[in-house]
Amino acid sequence: MPLDEGLALYAAAVEAGRLGLPLLEIGTYCGRSTILLADAARAAGVTALTVDHHRGSEEQQPGWEYHDPETVDPELGVMDTLPTFRRTLRRAGLEEHVVALVGRSPQIAALWERPLGLVFVDGGHTDEHASADYEGWAPHVAEGGLLVIHDVFPDPVDEFTGQAPYRVHQRALRSGEFTEVSATGSLRVLRRTGAAAAHR
């Protein structure tokens, strides 16, 4: 994530933290963006939640551009970013401000019942995964809360990296439930201004 996008995410988290509700991220990976949410959560006295199965997204698998061999479990031969994520939090001194929800986003969302001050969508980049993240978590954004979507690329040339998040962004705007607040690089911040389906 470029610096300007990270700063925009942090600013959104600080603002959303004022609602006194948890801040949730979908797509933990190794925890860099989690640190931003956790620091904002610490200042606001709320909890940062992060959802990931820690087996890597499509583009992080072996043979793809974003694959990091150091994230592969040597015993099992599969990706496991959870140990790296835990080290990241420990080094940042933010462990007590984060709850890691380890599993697939739709499964965890199906069990979730609380309103959230912020939902940061930064998981899988296929239509299936991006849509499931939106459908599962956007209804939990509280009134006045923020929906933040990363890797929004309107240009069709970016089909693999950002068209699914772009389509989710457009869907959120069309829903009438969200209004765009800011755009920084590929990061979009939207505020819930319409009724939340899950908490009507």
- Cα–Cα–Cα angle for 163, 164, 169, rounded to 5 degrees: 95
Tokens of 25: 């991220």
Half-sphere exposure of 8 toward its Cβ, with a 13 Å CA cutoff?
A: 21
Give the E-state strand segments of the chain in sequence order. 23-26, 48-52, 98-102, 116-121, 141-149, 178-184, 187-192
What is the secondary structure of 65-102 as a DSSP string? Answer: TT--GGGB-TTT-SB--HHHHHHHHHHHT-GGGEEEEE
Q: Which residues are catalytic?
A: 125
Dihedral Cα 45, 134, 164, 166, nearest 10 deg: -70
Cβ-contact 121, 146 below 8 angstroms: no
**Phi-psi category of residue 53: left, alpha or beta, with phi > 0 → left and psi -120 to 50 → alpha:** alpha
- Tell me which DSSP letter residue 6 carries: H
Spatial CB neighbours of 4, under 8 Å, sequence gap ≥ 6: 184, 185
